[in-house]
Amino acid sequence: MKTAMPTVLATLLATAFAAVASGAVKSVVLVHGSFADGSGWKPVADILQRDGYTVQVVQEPLTGLAADVAATRLVLDRAGPCVLVGHSWGGMIITEAGTRSNVRSLVYVYAFQPEVGETAGALQAKTPPASNNVVSVGGGFVQERPESFSADFAADVPKALSEFMAISQAPITAASFSAKTTVAAWSRKPTYAVVSEQDRMINPDLERFMATRAKSQTIELDGSHSIFLSHPKEVAALIETAAKAAK
């Protein structure tokens, strides 16, 4: 046993050094969007972890773009070389936070991909989505109307789950949608995107426009805004593609 341990340790160190030398990215940071929380990423995270990736999920406060970016940067600071993934509003966040040097690529999942100076609200106004059921819940926060949540946000998710998501949704400050981005990380790093014809929260034509502008490697899936729940295999596969191609 005394002679075997150094050999095992040497093997582990050699494997670690080889991964670093090859530029392999085995870490993924997931950022949720508005009206949701990080637990929605579980099906995607399970696949990534099964495939050997370290996964961290940001639970941003949804109190404003600056605060959400700060929460994401705290996670990035301990993530190592990683792929940064954002869903919906999370796209605004990763566009700003993704300039961190350890972020090797970005994946936008039915997400905003703003240019410098753009806001989520202005992008929505330019190409309105099918749904317009966001209502005030007080204190400057808004959420999706619970009775329309299943149809608008999670139409292809089991009804019991979508109904629970409706009553457990995380409100976001209305002011968030007028916050301007100051950088566009997608202009500096490899970028990937998922678009869907069935998204009622962000217009699919807007998603295509932003993905094309960012020169994102794009896939289209037939699913609702809750694509991370209805098509976790395809979403995870795109994230792994981004990780394998990262340098």
- Domains of the chain, by residue range, sit at 27-245
Please give the pLDDT value at position 40: 96
Residues lower than pLDDT 50 in the chain: 1-22
Please give the pLDDT value at position 23: 58
In this structure, the chain runs to a length of 247
The CATH number, out of the four listed (3.40.50.10950, 3.40.50.1820, 3.40.50.1390, 3.30.450.20), of the domain defined by the range 27-245: 3.40.50.1820
Pairing of β 82-87 and β 27-31: parallel
Give the pLDDT confidence of 146-204 residue by residue, as tens digits.
Answer: 999 999 999 999 999 999 999 999 999 999 999 999 999 999 999 999 998 899 999 99
Element (H, E) at 230: helix 227-230
pTM of the complete model: 0.90
- How far apart are the C-alpha atoms of 156 and 162, rounded to whole Å? 9
Please give the pLDDT value at position 22: 46
- The pair phi, psi for residue 200, each rounded to 5°, is -105, -5
